[in-house]
Structure 1
Amino acid sequence: MSIQLTPEALERVKSFLGEQPEKVGLRFAVRKTGCSGWAYEIDLSNAIGADDEVFEQGGIKVIVPRASLALLDGTEIDFVREGLGSRFAFRNPNVKGECGCGESFTTQ
């Protein structure tokens, strides 16, 4: 099992955590939603729960609920800048299709 951050994502998360030192890491999960079935959730976390798996990279903890692991295993999290905007982007080998609006995805 693995979740990886690109150097750009790692620096962005470090910046966010530097502004909120009470947070323990980056929480990465999925939830059922949208027209395709699953959507990513990404946020700073206040705690690590008993049902969480923790991946560390460059001093950053990526916290993933065990219920989300099968859908997220192997995902690379990137931070991209496009024009005036920026966002986290996900390269997930488990994704087999995405909805037209880009908000949700399907797996096998």
Structure 2
Amino acid sequence: MTATIPAQTGGDLPAHNITISEFGAMKALAILSQSGKENAGVRVFIKSGGCSGYQYGMAIDDRELDGDTIVHDRGVKLLVDRMSLPLLRGSEVDFVENMMGGGFTVHNPNATSSCGCGHSFRTDGAQSPDGEGSGGCGSH
């Protein structure tokens, strides 16, 4: 069973919500329109690894899997699997541009530490899961 939740931008957000910034939504909608996938959304997920323990992942996905939470925010469909949801509660997907180019990032209030490149994080200061993630930012 999937859960579909409209995001509430501004005001108090439900604890499970994940949102997307205005600039992030603009970039995501442009990418989604070029994907050729009908009814596609942005899948946001967490996997073990990275220099801080967990690593963010994002992909264009036109599948709604059993157990997914689906959030509609600023015209973008965000899909989050049940294993990633607890680690992404209250997070905002954003798009940042810098001298190295640009890309999507996650502003995660659950992260207690992160690596310098912003692609991986730790939630409680504990060791990386399964002993992974001991390398530097280049080891993603």
- Provide the TM-score with structure 1 as the length reference: 0.91
Q: 2:81 matched to 1:70?
A: no
User: Which one of the candidate residues 26, 30, 54 is aligned to 1:38?
Assistant: 54
Q: 2:95 matched to 1:95?
A: no
Unaligned runs of 5+ in 2: 1-15, 125-140
CA distance in 1 between partners of 2:21 and 2:54 (Å): 23
Query: Can you list the C-alpha shifts for 1:31-69, whole angstroms capped at 9, x where unaligned?
Result: 001232100001101301012110001221100001101
Q: Match for residue 25 of structure 2?
A: 10
Give the ranges of 4+ consecutive aligned residues of structure 1 lying more than 4 Å apart after TM superposition.
Answer: none
CA distance in 2 between partners of 1:2 and 1:64 (Å): 10
Query: Can you list the C-alpha shifts for 1:50-99, whole angstroms capped at 9, x where unaligned?
Result: 12110001221100001101100110111111135111122100000123
Q: How many residues align?
A: 108
Choose 14-23 or 86-95, whichever is displaced more: 14-23
Unaligned runs of 5+ in 1: none
Residues 84 and 104 of structure 1: is their aligned pair in 2 closer, same or farther, counting only changes over 3 Å?
A: closer
Aligned-residue Cα RMSD (Å) equals 1.5
Q: Secondary structure at the match of 1:67?
A: coil
Residues 80 and 35 of structure 1: is their aligned pair in 2 closer, same or farther, counting only changes over 3 Å?
A: closer
Residues 107 and 56 of structure 1: is their aligned pair in 2 closer, same or farther, counting only changes over 3 Å?
A: same
- Provide the TM-score with structure 2 as the length reference: 0.71
Residues 86 and 33 of structure 1: is their aligned pair in 2 closer, same or farther, counting only changes over 3 Å?
A: same
Q: Secondary structure at the match of 1:11?
A: helix
Identity %: 32
Which structure has greater strand proportion?
Answer: 1
